[in-house]
């Protein structure tokens, strides 16, 4: 891997550009830079324009707030409130799993993916290397300190939604109608209060958040993607096509990878996603399973390929329970996917002023590129 070139890529993306926030002019500038860089290696490079929502947090906050209306309706029409609440809950779970439903009703803004293709001589498999190039907003939700708690908080919110629905059923059956103390109402309104607190926290985080430069998250992953494009153009994998997909608007709940999957017909048996995310410092990890609620497991053959190359790069397995990566959506839709990341290094997102190129460990970035290439070649 060309460490000097990867350093230049990170310094441009996270130094020359003050941020790469989704659907901003800076994100577009980054896309044009990536298009120019990838075009050096393959003429089959394109910018795929599409539209995405501005914020997933406001979308999820609206779902949580809807349960206040459901609880109020249950005073008069308990069964109607239950039916309506069940619909809202199912829509929420689908939206959380990456399907674009009520989010279609929100304003959308232009964004883009950058896609390049290197074709093999006798392709039997398709490898898709992904790395998102947009940078997040710094907030309590996206901070590194919050990551271990996000799953617990989300489980509590889901349980609160279910509690409201159960209380609607209890009211519909009239189980405590003659009681002086209504435990169903106590539980229902405690649950609603928790959901409203969750909604308020998301709104505050979204409105007060500031875009970060995103050197580790995820200019580091993009530098690895560009390095792989150069290496695999010079020395192709004979029996595999390799596509390089730099996804935009990942921070608006996986908009870029969703757009890519919706606009391409992919064979589940022969297509393999390798995602590179946050490899700017720390110890390398290969993600064997991912999901805040249900764990979606990476296919055994990809995990075996990663395990076989792990010792040379000092990589260890990891089950990821934090905010989803670009591998989450392929896994949730039954496809083969595996992520490479790094953990245990200096927290590069302690404040909105951090995550700069000067904080990157370029040795880790280089090892991530070598690890990714080794996995692809071993799995081919």
Residue-level pLDDT at 370: 96
Contact 276, 1 (CB under 8 A): no
Tell me the C-alpha distance between 27 and 24, whole Å.
5
Burial class from Cβ neighbours inside 10 Å (0-12, 13-18, 19+) for residue 17 reads: buried
Tell me the C-alpha distance between 323 and 57, whole Å.
12
Q: List C-alpha distances in Å: 209 to 90, 107, 154, 351.
A: 29, 19, 20, 10
Q: How confident is the model at residue 353 (pLDDT cuts 50, 70, 90)?
A: low
Say which residues have a Cβ less than 8 Å from residue 354's Cβ, sequence separation at least 6.
212, 347, 348
Residue-level pLDDT at 349: 45
Query: pLDDT tens across 64-92, in order?
Result: 999 999 999 999 999 999 999 999 999 99
Residue-level pLDDT at 348: 43
pTM: 0.93
The CATH architecture to which 8-54+110-139+214-379 belongs is 3-Layer(aba) Sandwich (3.40)
Q: List C-alpha distances in Å: 359 to 4, 147, 153, 220, 341.
A: 16, 20, 30, 11, 16
Residue ranges of domains in the chain = 8-54+110-139+214-379, 59-104+144-208
Phi, psi torsion values for 112, nearest 5 degrees: -165, 150
Which tokens sit at 152? 């617990």
Query: pLDDT tens across 153-182, in order?
Result: 999 999 999 999 999 999 999 888 778 788
Query: pLDDT tens across 235-258, in order?
Result: 999 999 999 999 999 999 999 999
Supply the mean pLDDT for the chain.
93
Residue 284, beta-bridge partner list:
342
């Amino acid at each position: 891997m060309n460490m000097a070139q990867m350093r230049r890529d990170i310094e441009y993306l996270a130094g020359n550009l003050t941020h790469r926030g989704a659907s901003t002019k800076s994100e577009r500038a980054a896309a044009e830079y990536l298009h120019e860089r990838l075009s050096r290696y393959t003429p089959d490079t394109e910018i795929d324009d599409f539209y995405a929502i501005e914020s997933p947090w406001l979308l999820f906050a609206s779902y949580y707030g809807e349960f206040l209306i459901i609880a109020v309706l249950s005073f008069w029409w308990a069964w109607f409130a239950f039916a309506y609440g069940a619909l809202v809950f199912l829509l929420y779970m689908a939206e959380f799993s990456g399907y674009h439903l009520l989010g279609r009703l929100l304003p959308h803004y232009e964004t883009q993916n950058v896609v390049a293709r290197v074709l093999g001589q006798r392709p039997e498999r398709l490898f898709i290397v992904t790395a998102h190039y947009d940078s997040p907003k710094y907030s309590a939700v996206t901070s590194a300190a919050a990551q271990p708690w996000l799953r617990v908080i989300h489980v509590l919110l889901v349980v609160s939604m279910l509690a409201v629905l159960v209380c609607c059923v209890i009211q519909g059956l009239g189980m405590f109608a003659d009681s002086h103390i209504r435990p169903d109402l106590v539980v229902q309104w405690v649950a609603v209060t928790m959901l409203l607190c969750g909604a308020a926290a998301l709104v505050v985080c979204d409105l007060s958040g500031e875009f970060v430069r995103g050197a580790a998250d995820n200019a580091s992953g993009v530098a690895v993607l560009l390095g792989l494009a150069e290496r695999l153009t010079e020395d192709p994998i004979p029996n595999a096509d390799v596509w390089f997909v730099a996804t935009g608007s990942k921070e608006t709940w996986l908009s870029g990878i969703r757009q890519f999957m919706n606009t391409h017909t992919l064979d589940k048996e022969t297509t393999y996603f390798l995602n590179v995310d946050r490899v700017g410092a720390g110890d390398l990890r290969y993600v064997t399973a991912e999901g805040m609620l249900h764990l979606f497991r990476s296919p055994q053959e990809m995990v075996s390929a990663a395990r076989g190359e792990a010792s040379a790069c000092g990589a260890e397995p990891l089950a990821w329970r934090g905010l989803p990566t670009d591998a989450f959506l392929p896994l949730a839709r039954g496809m083969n996917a595996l992520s490479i990341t790094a953990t245990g290094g200096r927290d590069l997102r302690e404040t909105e002023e951090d995550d700069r190129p000067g904080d990157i460990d370029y040795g880790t970035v280089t090892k991530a590129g070598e690890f990714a290439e080794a996995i692809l070649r071993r799995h081919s």
